[in-house]
Amino acid sequence: MVGGRARAHPPREMTDDPEAWPEAPSPDAGAETVRQIARRLARAMRDRGLSLRAVAVGSGVNRQAIADLLAGKSWPDVATVARLAAFTGLPLWPDGPVRARRSKQ
């Protein structure tokens, strides 16, 4: 599997509190990156009054893929993030490297 064993679980399950996705940070750098992308996209949609359907049509990304990204159920590929960023006109990728932090466990 591309991405190794870590991608066997959805990013939301790699946070300290999966029910708090996307607010709960993750100790895993990959899941934390997806969480930050989801937060930025959700904020852009809220601020602009965009529905899932509108974002799907405008970006060319499948509506279910967007919903799964926002819910932390999937690992989006670079092309998906690029298309969403182009449509929103916002950088969705985190600024600089994402640091994994220790879990509260």
Task: Note whether residue 13 is domain-resident.
Answer: no
- 10 alpha carbon, distance to own chain's centre: 11
Q: Is residue 71 part of a domain?
A: yes
Burial 8-26 (b: 16+ CB within 10 A, else e): eebbbebbeeeeebbeebb
Residue 102 has pLDDT above 60, yes or no: no
- Assigned domain for 3 exists: no
How many domains are contained in the chain?
1
For 46, the domain range is 27-88
pLDDT digits (tens, 9 = 90+) for 76-91: 999 999 999 999 999 9
23-77 confidence digits (pLDDT tens) = 999 999 999 999 999 999 999 999 999 999 999 999 999 999 999 999 999 999 9
Encoded tokens for 31: 């899941």
Asked if residue 15 is part of any domain, the answer here is no
**Which domain CATH number covers 57?**
1.10.260.40
Three-state secondary structure readout of 14-33: HCCCHHHCCCCCCCCHHHHH
Residues 67, 61 contacting (CB under 8 angstroms): no
Q: Residue 95's pLDDT band (boundaries 50, 70, 90)? A: confident
Classify residue 82: in a domain, yes or no.
yes
